[in-house]
Amino acid sequence: MVDSPKSSSSNYKEVKLGSTNIFTSLPCLISIDQENYFLVQNQSGRYSLLSDVCPHMWGTIIIRDDCFLCPDHGWRFDLSKGICINGPRSQMYNIDVINRNGILFAQFQYQ
């Protein structure tokens, strides 16, 4: 679904996701390097990827009704930024996505 990653340094990787036209329904599940992410767009139009790995104890997050849900212990996260809405201060791990002339690129930063 996505193009091969392009590396410019050992701690940065940019991945082409594709045209905004193909992402007609968000959140949209995307696989990159055998990891799953939800492509989301916040109220100001900014895109990002949210990991489906729960920040609590690494459960697998799904979409349920009007939010993200980790079935393991019931934490819920909002659909635009992945902020926990029913538990401790926490947030789904997120990756910046930039829009270059209608093409989306995920920007992975490694420490």
User: Where do contacts with ligand FES occur on this chain (CB under 6 A)?
Assistant: 54, 56-57, 59, 70, 72-73, 75
State residue 20 phi and psi, 5-degree precision: -60, -25
Helix (H, G, I), strand (E, B) or coil at 86: coil
CB 97 within 8 A of CB 106: yes
In terms of CB distance, is 65 or 101 closer to ligand FES? 65
In terms of CB distance, is 57 or 98 closer to ligand FES? 57
| Residue 98 Cβ vs ligand FES, minimum distance, rounded to whole Å | 29
CB 56 within 8 A of CB 73: yes
In terms of CB distance, is 3 or 72 closer to ligand FES? 72
CB 84 within 8 A of CB 77: yes
| Residue 62 Cβ vs ligand FES, minimum distance, rounded to whole Å | 11
| Residue 87 Cβ vs ligand FES, minimum distance, rounded to whole Å | 7
Q: Which of these, 104, 92, 89, 88, lies nearest to 38 by C-alpha position?
A: 92
| Residue 28 Cβ vs ligand FES, minimum distance, rounded to whole Å | 21
